[in-house]
């Protein structure tokens, strides 16, 4: 780490004036005096790029050059830092970061997809140029989790990180529990409120959380990013019935991103979990994110805050800009890219844990015995059971809910495949993993 005393303004070129870009511009203007004091030098926006530069952003744009071409801005403007807030893993966002680094500029980005797919290449460019690639805002919005891992907890070896990393999913699951409404209805409401995109796939299918988890894994364990190794499931199949049944059993359902380091390698997974009610993450609601870190010296620490939105994410963007202004120079992933380890990935079939299982079956003798026989055949032992009364309607089906003791995922998959084809099973079995202590 090196520090350079410099009282001249830090010149900033900002690419992208969407929600986060506008929030960043507003924060820089509103907090200019306190930022100059805390950073030891002024932070000056010298240029912005956006397809619609003329739209009113609620900020005085006097003295700021405006471009409708971000690459042209980089080529023409004398800036110390380029802030990329365009989004997307490729295309113009990637080109902007590459051009800035190749030109010897520092880069700050909130682009989790870009870092998850191209972070190592961009970090190498930054190292070659002697500049900074910073992405605090790419993970968990306003929560300074990257700084916590790289700086505040630098003296620890990390064993596990567990996070609620997507505010849209957390909002939907919270609302489903509170109202009893089904997923599709709550998703539609979330879209109307602006909490979910018109195409919500990246959020509700777990992609967004997986991008963030891949970044956290690299920073925490000092290994190369491997987004393709993240096991990924979303929340589309979670029903109001499952949420209610989980409550009866003493759990809440959350979409978790979990990365853990063992002697055998790294396990990275994003999927819904049953979380015990006495766990702190069970009570993180609505659009909030939270990250729980386990280190060998610090033990378990939890960080909670808004995971998205203009001002929370802008706050994280400014944290990176402030570090650059102060002369702080850290490797993007905590260590140089050449020192990042190749750590084996543990496939999901090797995962060991407890499970919630829901079966919709005909109300007939011997059904439970047949299910239990298939589970026992794979060495799976049961922890609890709930059997509800016959459902209304001509089908006469009933729900059987079982929880299991810890078992291997491969064994569970084989057992469910056999159960699914039983004549008495009327719907595909539902599986949700139970998050242990």
CA 325 distance to own-chain centroid: 28
Give which of 112, 114, 113, 78 is closest to 96, Cα–Cα.
114
Angle at 298 between CA 296 and CA 299, to 5 degrees: 70
Helices 207-221 + 112-129 axis angle, to 10? 40
For residues 139-176, one letter each, b for 16 or more C-beta atoms within 10 angstroms of the residue's C-beta and e for the rest, the string is bbbbbbbbbbbbeebeebebbbbbbbbbbbbbbbbbbb
Q: Quote the tokens at residue 11.
A: 């010149």
Q: Quote the tokens at residue 172.
A: 């939907």
Q: How far apart are CA 265 and CA 200, in angstroms?
A: 32
Q: Is 125 a catalytic residue?
A: no
Helices 409-420 + 367-377 axis angle, to 10? 150
Q: Indicate the DSSP class of residue 339.
A: G
Q: Locate tokens 């870190």: which residue?
A: 293
Contact call for residues 107 and 122 (beta carbons, < 8 A): yes
Q: How far apart are CA 206 and CA 273, in angstroms?
A: 13
Q: How far apart are CA 245 and CA 180, in angstroms?
A: 12
Give which of 341, 301, 288 is closest to 162, Cα–Cα.
301
Catalytic residue among 181, 212, 392, 418: 212
Catalytic residue ranges = 212
């Amino acid at each position: 780490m090196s520090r350079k005393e410099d009282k001249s303004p830090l010149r900033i070129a900002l690419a992208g004036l969407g929600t986060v870009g506008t929030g960043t511009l507003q924060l820089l203007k509103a907090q200019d005096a306190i930022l100059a004091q805390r950073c030891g030098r002024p932070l000056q926006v010298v240029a912005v790029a956006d397809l619609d530069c003329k739209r009113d952003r609620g900020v005085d744009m006097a003295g700021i050059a405006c471009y409708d071409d971000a690459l042209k801005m980089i080529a023409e403007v004398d800036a110390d830092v380029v802030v990329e807030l365009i989004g997307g893993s490729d295309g113009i966002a990637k080109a902007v970061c590459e051009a800035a680094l190749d030109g010897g500029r520092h880069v700050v980005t909130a682009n989790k997809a870009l870092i998850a797919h191209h972070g190592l290449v961009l970090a190498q460019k930054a190292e070659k140029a002697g500049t900074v690639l910073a992405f605090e805002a790419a993970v968990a919005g306003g929560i300074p989790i990257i700084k916590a891992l790289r700086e505040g907890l630098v003296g620890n070896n990390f064993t596990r990180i567990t996070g609620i990393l997507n505010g849209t999913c957390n909002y939907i699951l919270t609302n489903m529990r509170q109202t009893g409404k089904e997923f599709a209805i709550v998703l539609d409401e979330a879209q109307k409120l602006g909490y979910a995109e018109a195409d919500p796939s990246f959020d509700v299918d777990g992609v967004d959380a997986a991008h963030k988890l891949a970044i956290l894994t690299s920073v925490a364990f000092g290994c190369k990013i491997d987004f393709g190794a993240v096991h990924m499931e979303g929340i589309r199949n979670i029903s109001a019935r499952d949420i209610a049944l989980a409550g009866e059993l003493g759990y809440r359902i959350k979409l978790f991103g979990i990365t853990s380091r063992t002697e055998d390698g790294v396990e990275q997974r994003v999927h819904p979990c049953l979380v015990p009610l006495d766990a702190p993450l069970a009570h993180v609601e609505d659009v909030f994110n939270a990250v729980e870190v386990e280190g060998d010296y610090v033990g378990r620490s939890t960080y909670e805050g808004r995971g998205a939105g203009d001002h929370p994410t802008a706050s994280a963007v400014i944290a990176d800009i402030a570090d650059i202004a102060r002369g702080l120079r850290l490797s993007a992933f905590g260590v140089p890219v050449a020192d990042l380890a190749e750590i084996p990935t543990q496939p999901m079939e090797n995962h060991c844990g407890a499970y919630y299982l829901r079966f919709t079956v005909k109300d007939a003798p011997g059904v439970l015995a047949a299910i239990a026989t298939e589970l026992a055949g794979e060495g799976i032992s049961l922890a609890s059971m709930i059997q509800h009364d016959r459902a209304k309607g001509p089908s006469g089906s009933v729900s059987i809910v079982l929880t299991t003791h810890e078992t291997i995922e491969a064994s569970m998959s084989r057992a469910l495949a056999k159960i699914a084809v039983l004549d008495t099973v009327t719907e595909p079995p539902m599986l949700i993993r139970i998050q242990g202590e």
